[in-house]
Amino acid sequence: MTLEQNIIDNILECEVKIGHNSVQFTVYYPNDSLCELLDCDEDNLIDALSTFKSNVRDTLGDVVLTTAQDGSGRVGITIPASGVDWVSSNYKPSDFSVAFISMIKSFEATEENIISLFNSFDSDVVIERENEAEFAIYFSNESIDPYVYFIEQNDFGFEYHRYTREAYKRAIHNHN
């Protein structure tokens, strides 16, 4: 997965949730995720980000890089409204993404229904249980959907975090 594809996927995910808005879009990445998505090491990250900005100028527009103000060191990547419009005009969310977000937001969402939804797209699904209220689920076949969905159940229903496979491995390693 590339940084450009990850940003496109994030924009599409947002559009499934709230619809298309012709506004700028910012996503924050820790350095290790940027290195993964840009296929570089931390010593070359600044050069890789500069190359990325040049490479996506004709599609995502004049991308702006900032440092998160929360002291985390994360890098904010802001896509201008024209880039968000370009994504909306040239890409559509996957059927799985639409069905998953619809399911997770519904009052009928249950763990069993979520797993059934995954299985309706492919029977080769991996489930990693963290505890009674948390589990990760993803397709073995990354061409269906390349992300790991970490799902938590709380008093308000279900919430999820979507990770690249490498970011999920780092998160689990740091958690344990």
| Residue 72's pLDDT band (cuts 50, 70, 90) | confident
Distance of CA 160 to the CA centre of its chain: 11
Mean pLDDT of 5-18: 97
Domain boundaries, given as residue ranges, for the chain? 3-90, 95-175
pTM of the model: 0.93
Strands (E), 44-147: 64-67, 75-79, 125-131, 134-139
* pLDDT tens per residue across span 158-169: 999 999 999 999
Domain 3-90 top-level CATH class:
mainly alpha
pLDDT in tens, 113-144: 999 999 999 999 999 998 888 999 999 999 99
